[in-house]
Amino acid sequence: MAFLTSIALFLSLAALSLASFGNSSSVLSRAGTFSNPLNKQKGADPCMRYINGVYYMTSTQNTDIAMWAATTVEGIKTATPTVLFTDTTAGRNFDFWAPEFWYLDGRWYIYYAVAGNGDDNTHRLHVLSGGTDASNPMNGAYSHTASLVPSNFDFWAVDGSILELGGARYFIFSGKTTDAVWTQCTYIVRMSSPTALSGNAVQISCPTLSWETAATPVQEGPEAITIGGVTHIVYSASHCSTDDYALGLLTLTTGANPLLASSWTKATSPVFTKNVAAGVYGPGHHFMFEKDGEHLFAYHGKSKPGLGCGDLRTTRVQPFSINGTNPVFPAAVGDGIAVAEP
């Protein structure tokens, strides 16, 4: 009798553990959910990566370059930022914008724009060198290494990022050569190392379509992605102050020279826009990254219309998908809605 009871108990425990295993495995395959936005203010121009079980995030803080880290996207909300760099050097100590962190050739680098003397006209791109620990961009001090000013382009330049293609590395950025007419175009220049440019910058695309010219003609925040051998630059279009800030797509003709404007084709419609029904305005200035083979993008948006370019831009994250060789971005999801974390 005792023996039979034990058997029955064993079997029911086994059934129980199988049932709960079924449930916990389905939970494990979806790490959980998170909701946007990840901050209440000062969340513009995010860069985010998932490395070795941890999400790392930077965004525009103006006064310094700070990084948040957490094991879940939701955890970023309560993480304490670490200031990685600030600067008192005249000429590069005002308005630190859009830092991006990259691990290249065995070291972490942060690319960012900064101005001097409170004068926006002096925004130029710079690079910091950090530590060598591929698994942690916060392990090691960052120091200023170089300004990245192309030989033919000592003009206003912001939003530097990296494009790697065919064994070569390129720096892509948004720039304008004159203040007379404010038009920000997309530029590319070859890199001879993670901290040095080589040759002239080439203008590859300018804002011309109606959705690129709301308030002011702008292309900025260029980010490269190669899918199935096809290289794209996803960029932000129109002025950040508008609700119509959006993402656009440039595609490189396969095998063509990225340093020629004629090699790039612009999609005629934006690929990611405001979602009035969901209450998300002016979404853009994104960064694409992967977690376990799943694609995610961080971007900033605003929870109400008319909030402008300032501190009320908040950071949001969503998965996106691939269709053939194209990235396909979802509709912007509203504040407080649960999003499954891949």
Catalytic (active-site) positions? 45, 220
Q: Which is nearer to ligand NAG, 209 or 230 (CB)?
A: 230
- Of the candidates 299, 196, 195, the residue with the CA atom closest to the CA atom of residue 246: 299
Q: Nearer Cβ to ligand NAG, position 23 or 203? A: 23
> Which C-beta is closer to ligand NAG: that of 11 or that of 83?
11
Question: Could you tell me the smallest distance in angstroms from the CB atom of residue 323 to ligand NAG?
Answer: 4
Closest to ligand NAG by CB, 153 vs 329, is: 329
Binding mask 18-57 for ligand NAG (x = CB under 6 A): -x--xx----------------------------------
Interface with ligand NAG (CB under 6 A), residue total: 6
Residue nearest to ligand NAG (CB): 22
Q: Work out the angle at residue 29's Cα, subtended by the Cα atoms of residues 49 and 75, and round it to the nearest 5 degrees.
A: 45
Residue among 295, 276, 304, 220 at smallest CA distance from 37: 304
Q: Kindly indicate which of the ranges 17-25, 99-107, 182-190, 229-237 contains the residues binding ligand NAG, using the contact rule CB under 6 A.
A: 17-25
Under a CB-based contact definition with an 8 Å cutoff, are residues 86 and 95 in contact?
Answer: no
For residue 31 the two structure tokens come to: 């790490």
CB of 22 to ligand NAG, least distance (A): 3
The helix/strand/coil state of 133 is: coil
Residue window 188-227: x/- pattern of binding to ligand NAG, with contact defined by CB under 6 A: ----------------------------------------
Least Cβ distance, residue 18 to ligand NAG (angstroms): 9
Least separation in angstroms between CB 57 and ligand NAG: 28
Measured over the CA atoms of residue 74, residue 80, residue 82 and residue 87, the dihedral's sign is positive
Q: One symbol per residue from 314 to 333: x for binding ligand NAG (CB under 6 A), - otherwise; what is it?
A: ---------xx---x-----
Please identify, using beta-carbon distances, which residue of 22 and 305 lies nearer to ligand NAG: 22
Cβ 328 to ligand NAG shortest distance, Å: 5
Long-range contacts of 47-50 (CB under 8 A, 24+ apart): 47/98, 47/99, 47/100, 47/101, 47/287, 47/298, 48/287, 48/289, 48/296, 48/298, 48/317, 49/101, 49/137, 49/289, 50/289, 50/290, 50/291, 50/292, 50/296
Element (H, E) at 3: helix 2-29
| DSSP strand pairing (47-51 vs 119-129) | unpaired
Measured in whole angstroms, the distance separating CA 278 from the mean position of its chain's CA atoms is 22
Nearest CA to 165 out of 289, 255, 260 is that of 255
Q: How far is the CB of 21 from ligand NAG (least distance, A)?
A: 8
Cβ burial, residue 9 (10 Å; 0-12/13-18/19+): exposed
Site map for ligand NAG, 268-307, x if CB under 6 A? ----------------------------------------
* CB closer to ligand NAG out of 179 and 294: 294
| Interaction site with ligand NAG (CB under 6 A) | 19, 22-23, 323-324, 328
